[in-house]
Amino acid sequence: MSNHQGSPGRAGPAADVGRWFSTATQPAATPAPGPAAPPAPGMPGAAPSAPSTSRPLFRLPAWGPVPHAQYGHRSEPELLAEAWDLLRGEPTAVLTGAGMSTSSGLPDYRGRDAVPRAPMTFQEFMGSDLARRRYWARSTVGWTQFLRARPNHGHELLAHLGAADLPVTGVITQNVDALHQQAGSHPVVDLHGRLDRVRCMGCDAVSGREALHRRMLSMNPALAARVEELAADAAQAPDGDAEVDRTADFRYPACPLCGGILKPDVVFFGESARREVVREAYALVEEASRLLVLGSSLTVQSGLRFVRAAVKASTPVVIVNDGPTRGDEQASLRIHGRIEDVLAVWAGS
């Protein structure tokens, strides 16, 4: 993925706000010994697509490009037509991942241009004042750029299809950017939460991130005076991490209601998604006769479980992604290509 800082509707590299985008995942995995991964269904040389529960010959890395992946491959038009024939007019649950938002300038984990990232865990955030200072300082620097992200053509096409030929039971997203809602999709289940909200870990009160941002700027006037400069500096750093060594004196507030620790309302690595949110997501899958996966490598169990639940219920699964996914062998049809391109073909069918 390439980022273009300052472009309308796109966030820059500094929008990896406090490095949340490197969380909600698992420790890096290395390919298992053995031959290179076989072509995925829908690629030249692949066997016919069929659901399978057999174990893949390799594991996807937690972040960074997948070894031996054939990025940039595009499925044949006939396969796209077959997938659309399977989906059109059918109640469909949609599961989306980071690849859905890369065209809005937000980072992904395992795409061709993904870079290694060091996640901050839930335990680290909750157990260390210094870690919280580090997180909130970087988050303050990146927040303005994060807000520049706007729904891309893929978000808009999905909302359009949901209002026309694809009766969507709901969108389950692993993203935290609220871009599906801005594009008009409804209902949307934010499986990993939303970065524009803050939750108190003491009293569970939820508040807006923008108000907290203004408060932290007022508490840190020296940083506030340089926040645009620091954001530009972070955009030039290899991983948007220019602020990392200047955070020890950063000040952040406690919950105004109970004095508890404030945390972005997103699921960190080492933390579980809220049970009521997971139940809502499962309900959307159960209502559907199809499951469509867009832009997710399905590396984390929080997304893969819905594919497994659909397969168990004999619900056809269509996966669209550039690069391999952990659910490829369980897909009824596997489509390779850019999300926007595939959805544009379907919207014009």
CA angle, 66 then 10 then 243, to 5° = 75
Between 152 and 114, residue with greater pLDDT = 152
- Could you report how far apart the first and last alpha carbons of the chain are, in Å? 28
User: What pLDDT band is residue 145 in, cutting at 50, 70 and 90?
Assistant: confident
pLDDT-above-70 percentage for the chain: 74
**Whole-prediction pTM:** 0.81
What integer best gives the mean pLDDT of the chain?
Answer: 82
Between 195 and 68, residue with greater pLDDT = 195
Distance CA 98, CA 261 (A): 28
Q: Which of 160, 192, 213, 336 is catalytic?
A: 192
Q: For the segment 229-276, what is each residue's pLDDT rounded down to a tens digit?
A: 888 776 655 444 444 456 789 999 999 999 999 999 999 988 999 999
- 3-class SS string, the chain: CCCCCCCCCCCCHHHCHHHHHHCCCCCCCCCCCCCCCCCCCCCCCCCCCCCCCCCCCCCCCCCCCCCCCCCCCCCCHHHHHHHHHHHCCCCEEEEECHHHCHHHCCCCCCCCCCCCCCCCEHHHHHHCHHHHHHHHHHHHHHHHHHHHCCCCHHHHHHHHHHCCCCCEEEEEECCCCCHHHHHCCCCEEECCEEEEEEEECCCCCEEEHHHHHHHHHHHCHHHHHHHHHHHHHHHHCCCCCCCCCCCCCCCCCCCCCCCCCEEEEECCECCCCCHHHHHHHHHHHHHCCEEEEECCCCCCHHHHHHHHHHHHCCCCEEEEECCCCCCHHHCCEEEECCHHHHHHHHHCC
Question: For this structure, is 192 an active site residue?
Answer: yes
Q: Are strands 317-321 and 333-336 parallel, antiparallel or unpaired?
A: parallel
What's phi and psi for 173, nearest 5 deg?
-115, 140
